[in-house]
Amino acid sequence: MIDDDTAREQIVTAADRLFYGRGVQAVGMDAVRAAAGVSLKRIYALFPSKDDLVVAVLQHRTQRWNAGILAATAAVGDPRDKLLAVFDFLAGWFVEEDFRGCAFINSFGELGALSPRVATTVRDQKSSFQDYVAALVHDAGAPANLAPQLAILAEGAQTTAAIAGRPDAAHQARDAAATLIEVALRPAPTPA
């Protein structure tokens, strides 16, 4: 018999793949059981409700997202380039075969009005991303108001890429971000 940590990982991995591919509400717990190879009794012992499982999947996604963004920004040295690396990360993600948009936005759209826990988990992830962008903006020496502008570009690119099927949305958002960054970092004119 597998230990609880291994079972939890199998369940979350299977549920993540199913929820992301088909939507949370379209996937029953029997499908999760079959994909995870774990009995329903064990699933419900580890996740007493589907809500608990959805939150665990979103927390798992948060870890993956954070690791991807950190790796993308760590790969470049210049603070300005770190801001643009966020969009490079998105460009790589948007061309993945199983790309279906942002799992957080998708989950919020399906369950945000029904599940306060899911809504809170999604809001926490989005807030964490905004805080990370704000830290990058600070490190680049740009004004704080640039951060929400860049975060909105990234969120909009995710939605556009998913709905319109346009992976080039990351490149378009990157170009817009480069313009915003350039303007934000431009020295203020000296009074005559």
Residues in the chain: 192
DSSP letters, 105-141, are: HHHHHHHTTT-HHHHHHHHHHHHHHHHHHHHHHHHTT
- Tell whether 165 and 82 lie within a shared domain: yes
Q: Give the domain range for residue 17.
A: 1-48
Q: Are 23 and 29 in contact (CB under 8 A)?
A: no
In this structure, the answer to whether residues 98 and 41 fall within a common structural domain is no
Cα–Cα distance, 96 to 37 (Å, whole number) = 26
For the entire predicted model, the pTM comes to: 0.92
Q: Is residue 190 part of a domain?
A: no
Judgement on whether residues 43 and 90 belong to the same structural domain of the protein: no
In terms of domains, do 155 and 174 share one? yes
Which class for 88: exposed (0-12), middle (13-18), buried (19 or more C-beta within 10 A)? middle
The CATH number assigned to the domain holding 115 equals 1.10.357.10
What is the mean pLDDT, run by run of 10 residues, along the chain of 192 residues? 93 98 97 97 97 98 97 96 98 96 96 96 98 98 97 97 95 98 88 74
pLDDT digits (tens, 9 = 90+) for 139-171: 999 999 999 999 999 999 999 999 999 999 999
